[in-house]
Amino acid sequence: MEIRPLVLVILDGWGLSPEVSGNAIYSTPTPNFDKLMSLFPITSLHASGEEVGLAWGEMGNSEVGHLNLGTGRVVMQDLPRIDKTIADGTFFKNQELLDAFKFAQANGSNLHLLGLFSAGGVHSHINHLFALLDMAKKQEFSRVFIHLITDGRDTPPQTVLKDLPKLEEKMKSLKIGTIASVMGRYYGMDRDKRWERTEKAFNVLTQANAPKANSALEAINAAYAASKSDEFIEPVAIANTPRIAPKDAVIFYNFRSDRARQISDKIIDKGGVYFVSFTSYGHEPSPLVKVAFFAEKVTNQLVMLLANNKITQLHIAETEKYPHVTYFFNGGWEEPFAGEERILVPSPKVATYDLRPEMSAKEVMTKFVENFQNKKPQFTVLNFANSDMVGHTGNFEKTCSAVSTVDAALGQISAAVLNSGADLIVTADHGNAEQMVNPQTGEIDKEHTTNPVPLILALNEKVSKNPQAVSVETKIALAASPPTGVLADITTTIVQRMGLGKPQEMTGQSLEGVL
């Protein structure tokens, strides 16, 4: 069967907003994106909330976006799934969680609760920590020590002091729980193999000689005094609290796996600790390593359909988004499928990406063009991380630079793809760079958004004979219009475009005939 090659480009964090103020995308010349927008059909898609399997009003994220894009269906996400078990009471009967309490009880040891202390809902939720404390009360187990990983990335930069009193009140009312350490997610949730960061976090979790503060409040105030936001709080132990030791139990309550893996590897490798993760972090289950909430295995997703039809694939991104174009896009499958090639381009080794807003976009583009022209993969998924990763720093000027870098790379890619006669689809997984200032408060906004994302179907037979100039007003009008569909619709559009039968598991609708 003759398959016309198709390239899916995901502009991470490139949303659509009707607001001009604080919009790094509208504030940056994007001639290549604008050219595609003028020549080809464009619409907007939902990328947040229930339309992608999250709770109503919940902002989108990279994991969820890529999962929807790769599976062609709205997948119920871990946050609402776990919330439901708390609401119906089955959470408190979860055998893996109960076994952690039993292990610590039998050994006369401690239970440690580790996770991102955040109401952001991207990697974890504060309510899940509170439910674990309720569970400890029900189990009449009091040796509970809490290790706070502070956010400031999926929440405003200085949020932990607003949430800390809620935790203290919860512990006081239950008479259970002691805060044992505090650390920013920069250290406790690195995913880029910056092991020096992970080592700092691990030492505070496990070593008696770790840096100490007298209280969580003291540690946080010291960080703020040093102009460090929640994300960058240096790991510190709280005086007179125990570290994680052999025969202790640990429950890691992050439900998103990518940023939980490195620190989990260190804890598990320490040995002798009973470790329970809320979801699978990729570790083999063993007598001492358990998963509380296994996800349902996704099948008949796009990569499986392509592999079954012997269609060659290329999945390419830099380090920061590599898991998203592989594990998440593939529906939670770790290993490559038949005919699937993967290219990982290292992200620059800098403290924060506003120091290198170009990141590795040029290298990703160059390696893609090389591979596309020489190996001719029939399907490619490619991610540009810049708009999201630099957007998370809150640095408006550098995020504009990131947007400009991505646009330049998009120009090279679109030329290579369209000149070859192949199809090009351009979209995003969620918003970020389009809203760098909170419209309600005027504060710096580093978070993802609930805004829709663009979809451009750059198909040669759909090129406009009368292209119109694109202005900021054009983009505002697009952002203000009701979205045409959801991210899962892109998958079905690809399947139809390639002449493949849509599996019944795919709930998305093709948009080719709509645009």
Q: According to the annotation, is 163 in a ligand binding site?
A: no
Q: According to the annotation, is 259 in a ligand binding site?
A: yes
The Cβ-side half-sphere exposure at 412, using a 13 Å CA radius, reads 17
Q: According to the annotation, is 258 in a ligand binding site?
A: yes
| DSSP string computed for 352-383 | SGGGSTTTTHHHHHHHHHHHHHHT--SEEEEE
Q: According to the annotation, is 123 in a ligand binding site?
A: yes
DSSP state of 326: I
Q: According to the annotation, is 430 in a ligand binding site?
A: yes
Rounded CA separation 104/101 (Å)? 5
Q: According to the annotation, is 12 in a ligand binding site?
A: yes
Q: Report which secondary-structure segment, H or E, holds 506.
A: none
User: 96 burial class (0-12, 13-18, 19+ CB within 10 angstroms)?
Assistant: middle
Whether 27 is catalytic: no
Q: According to the annotation, is 112 in a ligand binding site?
A: no
Sequence-separated (6 or more) residues with CB below 8 Å from residue 155: 118, 119, 120, 230, 447
CB 512 within 8 A of CB 493: yes
Q: According to the annotation, is 342 in a ligand binding site?
A: no
Q: According to the annotation, is 192 in a ligand binding site?
A: no
In whole angstroms, how large is the CA radius of gyration of the chain? 23
Q: According to the annotation, is 154 in a ligand binding site?
A: yes
Q: According to the annotation, is 321 in a ligand binding site?
A: yes
Catalytic residue among 62, 124, 401, 414: 62
Q: According to the annotation, is 256 in a ligand binding site?
A: yes
Q: According to the annotation, is 62 in a ligand binding site?
A: yes
Rounded CA separation 93/181 (Å)? 28
Residue 109's DSSP bridge partners are none
Cα–Cα distances in angstroms (integers) from residue 507 to residues 27, 381, 502, in the given order: 36, 20, 9
Strand order in the sheet with 111-117: 212-213, 236-238, 178-184, 144-150, 111-117, 249-252, 274-277, 289-291
Rounded CA separation 442/201 (Å)? 33
> Which residue's entry shows tokens 């190996």?
375
* SS3 category, 80: helix
> Which residue's entry shows tokens 């700092």?
200
Q: According to the annotation, is 153 in a ligand binding site?
A: yes
For the annotated binding site for substrate, the residues are: 123, 153-154, 185, 191, 256-259, 321
Active site residues: 62
For the annotated binding site for Mn(2+), the residues are: 12, 62, 388, 392, 429-430, 448
For the annotated binding site, the residues are: 12, 62, 123, 153-154, 185, 191, 256-259, 321, 388, 392, 429-430, 448
